[in-house]
Amino acid sequence: MAGEKRLARTRNVGFMAHIDAGKTTVTERVLFYTKKTHRMGEVDDGTATMDWMQQEQERGITITSAVTAVEWKGSIIHIIDTPGHVDFTMEVERSLRVLDGTVSIFSAVEGVEPQSETVWHQADKYRVPKMAFINKMDRIGSDFFGTVKMMIERLGANPLMIQIPMGVEDRFIGVIDLIRSKGMVWDEHSLGVDFKEVSIPREMEQETFLYRSRLIESLAELDDHLMEKYLTGEEISESEIKTALRKATLSMQAVPVLCGAALRNQGIQPLIDAMVDYLPSPLDISSVEGTNPVTGKREIRMAKDEESLAAIAFKVMMDEGRKLVYVRIYAGVLKVGAEVYNPRLKRGEKISRIFQMHAHQRTRVEEAKAGEIVAVMGLKETTTGDTLCDRIRPILLEPIDFYKPVMSIAVEPRTSRDQEKLAESLEKLSEEDPTFHVKVDEDTGQTIISGMGELHLDVLVNRLFTEYHLEVNVGRPQVVYRETIEKEVEASAKFIKEMEEIKHFAEVFLRISPNGRGKGIEFCSEAPEGTLPTEGLLSVEEGIRESSTVGVILGYPMTDLRVILLKANIDPNHPSLLALKIASSNALREGCRKAQPVLMEPMMEVNIIIPEEFMGEVVGDLKARKSSVEAIIPKGKVTMIKAISSLTRMFGYSTDLRSLTQGRGTFSMQFSRYDKVIA
């Protein structure tokens, strides 16, 4: 029972948003008001607790997701502060995989921005219930109701306002709690620690009544008990509204919306209350599903300490050369000195230490229970996405999806004696970050690193210097291209060779045609039944997929192909899987050479926010870059421009945009699709 009470009071919550919406500022206030810290850190001063990396403090942005735990009115809240820049989307993705609920933070000035959309849909993918906090209500141009409207239009959300602002811009003084029909005003002299409840100002009484009625009406549509009372005109109590709202939030039918101004310390305490009131505990998630790696059958584990262990490693960090693995425990207990089983490795690993994390500070504990997020040492081979379980009762949980890198640069050490050190350092960085790839070009001998964008690679190169004391020369950014075809062809290839007195023979006939953009490589067989055994078909497919990793134009991976096996001939007395694999590989290459192969480059979705007076110059510059402008949206004194542009034409764009807009323009860019190279 004690374990159940603890779980009911536990919350695992992530803060997500577009860059600069104020996630880290909100987190710093939460830490201060829950007495986790004794001073408020500021992002702009480089003193934010959660932005502890040197790179984060210098750049004023979050790069890596930071974990902490706070206590609030008897509840334990594990918080993950995630990055807002698109280059670090993977950090958000792997955090969402282990969170039970999220708080999406929107700027009241910019509203729903592109990266906010991305992370919102990522949360939908993992079915994570959400709350929204509309920040920066004190800023010029803030628009609470406009942002709520954007949530409906852009996110397809059902936002339920449980607060409305008292005043706007520099006249913003507090919020009106629609559930309790009370105003809340913060005292600036106490850094927002003290606030008082006030009566609703007379001029806002009608507005409050209107929005409170709308809230109850919306909840009544989702709750039969409330609907009954609503239709008969009975008084609906505060606790009934809260119960219905919690139910609607957990079932993802609604999103509670609050507001405030984190930098001015307004609106944070009601936000923490709402996180406890409306976001799920591990008990609300109740069970986690996985596959038994031995039998292949679906199994579940209940959120209980007494259950068999089920946990997932969602993040790896190198700490002074030692490996720290962040783990979310869904069921069971993790103990120091215990062996845990990793089904991917098919072997056990020993837990040497367990830590409760507060950003990069750690507190040693002897055990961690169901529902907790901790960091452990001792897992030498475990990596991001691995399951940890009991050897006797194994389970394999759903892994984490990884993004493919879109940009590469060559790096080399300033001195040749550092070559080995460079290889070791890059290996450690790639273990931390699944979207960072390292390879050595066989033709040139160069070390090529690939990542999600210019900022991502720039941060990694800087980390080589600051953390590993390595000075490197960096080549110009290179785009990771793909190759495809534009014409349907039929091709065949034969393989005959005698090896170690065994004759290997196979002949393969393929039809190769273009596939839809983003569809990848599809393989199927139309060969007469009985032509090949199952393992023979697998060998043909293996040969095709291996061959497609090196294209026929410049050797880039091939994609968006549909390959059909029409016919195959083998020696029935000595069938050779090797011959089938090589013949199909050769047939694919031969066919692609004749099928009008083309080069494809990454196309990026570019979102630009500029003062309206610079619109002409910025649009003209985009046209010069052969970008297609999809939409121009005036928004008060600023204009939002949406465009699609090839990545190669966007190198150095941040500098160009600054000079075009006198430093007042901002932009974000995210991968859209691969498409044919524009000459």
- pLDDT higher than threshold 80 for residue 87: no
Q: What is the pLDDT of residue 209?
A: 92
Mean pLDDT, residues 256-283: 92
What is the distance between the alpha carbons of residues 360 and 645, in angstroms, rounded to a whole number?
Answer: 38
- pLDDT higher than threshold 60 for residue 167: yes
Question: 399 vs 355, which has greater pLDDT?
Answer: 355
Q: What is the pLDDT of residue 153?
A: 86
Percent of the chain scored above 70 by pLDDT?
Answer: 90
Whether the CA torsion 452, 638, 165, 256 is positive or negative: it is negative
- pLDDT higher than threshold 50 for residue 187: yes
Q: From the CB of residue 143, how many other CB atoms can be counted at a distance below 10 Å?
A: 19
Percent of the chain scored above 90 by pLDDT?
Answer: 27
- pLDDT higher than threshold 70 for residue 179: yes
513 vs 106, 224, 295, 549, CA distance in Å? 45, 54, 38, 17
What is the distance between the alpha carbons of residues 372 and 193, in angstroms, rounded to a whole number?
Answer: 28
Contact between residue 50 and residue 81 where contact means Cβ atoms under 8 Å apart = yes
Residue type, 103: V
Q: What is the pLDDT of residue 99?
A: 84
What HEC string does 98-146 produce? CCCEEEEEEECCCECCHHHHHHHHHHHHCCCCEEEEEECCCCCCCCHHH
What is the distance between the alpha carbons of residues 164 and 611, in angstroms, rounded to a whole number?
Answer: 28
What is the distance between the alpha carbons of residues 515 and 130, in angstroms, rounded to a whole number?
Answer: 37
Mean pLDDT, residues 149-153: 90
Q: What is the pLDDT of residue 231?
A: 84
Q: What is the pLDDT of residue 679?
A: 64
What is the DSSP pairing of strand 561-570 with strand 502-514?
Answer: antiparallel
Whether the CA torsion 226, 230, 231, 234 is positive or negative: it is positive
Element housing 95 (H / E): helix 89-96
For the chain, report the end-to-end CA distance as a whole number of angstroms.
68
Highest mean pLDDT among 104-118, 302-316, 436-450: 302-316
Q: What is the pLDDT of residue 56?
A: 45
Mean pLDDT, residues 352-381: 85
Mean pLDDT, residues 23-38: 82
Per DSSP (E only), the strands in 167-297 are: 174-177, 182-186, 195-198, 255-259, 287-291
Locate 231 and state its tokens: 């239709």
Q: What is the pLDDT of residue 63?
A: 53
Locate 4 and state its tokens: 């159940």
Locate 520 and state its tokens: 């990848």
Per DSSP (E only), the strands in 216-262 are: 255-259
Q: From the CB of residue 127, how many other CB atoms can be counted at a distance below 10 Å?
A: 9
What is the DSSP pairing of strand 101-107 with strand 10-16?
Answer: parallel
Q: What is the pLDDT of residue 447?
A: 83
> Is residue 244 helix, strand or coil?
helix
Q: What is the pLDDT of residue 647?
A: 83
Q: What is the Cβ-side half-sphere exposure of residue 572, based on CA atoms within 13 angstroms? A: 2
What is the distance between the alpha carbons of residues 539 and 544, in angstroms, rounded to a whole number?
Answer: 9
> Is residue 284 helix, strand or coil?
helix
Contact between residue 95 and residue 65 where contact means Cβ atoms under 8 Å apart = yes
Mean pLDDT, residues 359-388: 85
| Of the candidates 139, 213, 144, 149, the residue with the CA atom closest to the CA atom of residue 175 | 144
Q: What is the pLDDT of residue 273?
A: 93
- pLDDT higher than threshold 90 for residue 225: no
**pLDDT tens sequence across 322-335:** 788 889 899 899 99
**pLDDT tens sequence across 579-627:** 999 999 999 999 999 999 999 888 888 888 788 888 999 999 999 988 9
What is the DSSP pairing of strand 174-177 with strand 163-166?
Answer: antiparallel
Q: What is the pLDDT of residue 218?
A: 92
Task: Point out the least confidently predicted range of 15-24, 237-246, 372-381.
Answer: 15-24
**pLDDT tens sequence across 484-537:** 999 999 999 999 988 877 888 999 999 999 988 878 899 999 988 878 888 889
CA dihedral 48, 50, 52, 54 (to 10 degrees): -70
Task: Assign 219 a pLDDT band (cuts: 50, 70, 90).
Answer: very high
Provide φ and ψ at 569, rounded to 5°: -120, 130
Q: What is the pLDDT of residue 110?
A: 86
What is the distance between the alpha carbons of residues 586 and 492, in angstroms, rounded to a whole number?
Answer: 8
CA dihedral 649, 651, 652, 653 (to 10 degrees): 50
Question: Quick one: the chain helix, strand, coil %, rounded to 5?
Answer: 30, 35, 35
Q: What is the pLDDT of residue 487?
A: 92
Contact between residue 520 and residue 512 where contact means Cβ atoms under 8 Å apart = no
- pLDDT higher than threshold 90 for residue 649: no
DSSP 594-663: HS-EEEEEEEEEEEEEEEGGGHHHHHHHHHHTT-EEEEEEEETTEEEEEEEEEGGGGTTHHHHHHHHTTT
- pLDDT higher than threshold 70 for residue 409: yes
Contact between residue 412 and residue 440 where contact means Cβ atoms under 8 Å apart = no
Contact between residue 500 and residue 468 where contact means Cβ atoms under 8 Å apart = no
Buried-state track 64-102, b at ≥16 Cβ within 10 A, e below 16: bbbbbbbebeebbbbbbbbbbbbbbbbbbbbbbbbbbbb
Q: What is the pLDDT of residue 103?
A: 92
What is the distance between the alpha carbons of residues 215 and 230, in angstroms, rounded to a whole number?
Answer: 12
Highest mean pLDDT among 70-84, 125-139, 462-476, 626-640: 125-139
- pLDDT higher than threshold 90 for residue 248: yes
| Average confidence score pLDDT of the chain | 84
Q: What is the pLDDT of residue 458?
A: 80
Mean pLDDT, residues 152-168: 90
Residue type, 451: G
| Of the candidates 90, 86, 139, the residue with the CA atom closest to the CA atom of residue 114 | 86
Question: 104 vs 673, which has greater pLDDT?
Answer: 104
Task: Point out the least confidently predicted range of 42-56, 97-111, 214-228.
Answer: 42-56
What is the distance between the alpha carbons of residues 622 and 608, in angstroms, rounded to a whole number?
Answer: 11
